Amino acid sequence: MTSLTAALTGALDCFHNEQADAKLVYGPQRQAVLSLKKAEHAFETITSWPNYQASDLHLLESMAKEANIAQIYYKDESTRFGLKSFKALGGAYAVTRFLQEHLSLLNGKEPSMSDLLSGHYKEQLKDVVVSCATDGNHGRSVAWGAQMFGCQCIIYIHRDVSVGRQSAMEAYAAKVIRITGNYDESVRQAAVDAKKYDRAIISDTSYEGYTKVPANVALGYTVMLSETVTQLNGQIPTHVFIQAGVGGLAAAVCGYFWDLWGDKRPRFVVVEPEAANCLQESAKAGELQVVEGDLDTLMAGLACGEVSHIAWEILDKGADDFITLSEDAVAPCMRALEQHTPSIEAGESAVAGLAACIVGAQNAKWRLALGLDEQSKVLVLGTEGATDPELYQELVFGA
């Protein structure tokens, strides 16, 4: 049998979070940000959208065997709503909640999802403008949600976002504005312009005074976690390796499973690129840190230098390990999944958790540091497919 992981090499920098403790109660403060009860509304809403279906949970048995661990579960978001990313769940759900609240203020009652989808409020929404900054996938979800419900959308992208990702947002009728700075600068520019032109910011990152919308974005993500629990059929993984940009997804995963499983929760391992490790630096310092510079990484969706404030409320004591992954592990992991049976399409930001798990499991030092052994059952989230088709072809096939 041909090895799928033989070419998968790379380096990790592991930091164990001494503040984390599985015996800690999730508690009301964290539940105010994200809870199972709040997640129920997101599930009811999103499962009512046209063309909803649960994404697949694959068993990567051959990869697990090669890594000498019991199992790897891979949640495949490459087909989600045709947007090829888990972000389809978060941005569009936050747009839904904003528009429902906006119409409630105008009309005295909150519209149902069926009323929103029917176009009944089209006239009242045609001049409403939602906006955000993005590396690509979140903006695509916001644009899709805006088009689905009939409002306008303006998206800010930074200098390193590919033309392919820009075009994907424009395909949903969004106006896309490219700035010369990095991701964090695009976030600030979007916020400044939103205040100036009376736009609603639908951001997946939170900052002082802005937490409600990012919390709704994270709640949208929990739909794939609810699906995963059903698909696991009673199994509780020993580890979750989850990639992070600003930390919104990582916090959603950690918070949802922590609230659900309590002290039986898995070990949460947060994975970042070496050049954009704001969560790891914050964990090392014991307080929020900003990573400056170009944040240059192949994992474009993770190129973030500032931590989402509400994400940190969960991750500061919920994440057990903060690790970085070197760039050379990305393309080989994408190729390994493409060659898997069945073949799995995974974008460059989708594989960080899986690559870190396999690289870590095959090195005695990192294996020990991460608590991996022959009984480990690892869940990873394949957060995107080929959201940049040209780059995918280049990385996987050398085309």
- Domain of 391, CATH number, reads 3.40.50.1100
CA distance 59 to 76: 11
Of the three residues 153, 188, 212, the one that is the final residue of a domain is: 212
The question of whether 87 is a catalytic residue gets the answer: yes
**372 and 281, same domain (yes or no):** yes
The question of whether 135 is a catalytic residue gets the answer: yes
Of 87, 184, 321, 388, which one is the catalytic site residue?
A: 87
**363 and 374, same domain (yes or no):** yes
CA torsion, ordered 41, 43, 48, 53, to nearest 10 deg: 180
Q: What is the pTM of this model?
A: 0.95
Per the rule left: phi > 0, alpha: psi between -120 and 50, beta: everything else, 368 is alpha
**140 and 100, same domain (yes or no):** yes
**208 and 251, same domain (yes or no):** no
Of the three residues 212, 232, 266, the one that is the final residue of a domain is: 212
Residue 202 falls inside a structural domain = yes
Residue 155 falls inside a structural domain = yes
Q: What is the pLDDT of residue 306?
A: 94
Which is it for the CA torsion 301, 302, 308, 313, positive or negative?
positive
**244 and 352, same domain (yes or no):** yes
Of 75, 84, 135, 204, which one is the catalytic site residue?
A: 135
**20 and 143, same domain (yes or no):** no
Peptide bond connecting 273 to the previous residue in cis, omega within 30 degrees of 0: no
Q: Tell me which H or E stretch contains 331.
A: helix 330-339
**346 and 236, same domain (yes or no):** yes
If we measure between CA atoms, which residue out of 131, 394, 165, 399 comes closest to residue 301? 165
Q: How many CB atoms lie within 10 A of CB 167?
A: 11
**328 and 370, same domain (yes or no):** yes
Contact 208, 309 (CB under 8 A): yes
Q: Which domain holds residue 45?
A: 12-86+218-397
Q: What is the pLDDT of residue 1?
A: 45
Q: CA neighbours within 13 Å on the CB side: how many for 328?
A: 7
If we measure between CA atoms, which residue out of 384, 371, 280, 379 comes closest to residue 324? 280
Q: What is the mean pLDDT of each run of 10 residues along the chain (399 residues)?
A: 80 97 95 97 97 98 97 98 96 98 96 93 96 93 96 95 92 97 92 96 91 96 98 98 97 98 98 97 97 91 93 97 97 96 97 98 97 98 95 91
Q: What is the pLDDT of residue 120?
A: 92
Contact 275, 297 (CB under 8 A): yes
CA distance 93 to 219: 8
For tokens 């480990």, name the residue: 376
Q: What are phi and psi of 85, to 5 degrees?
A: -160, 145
CA distance 362 to 359: 5
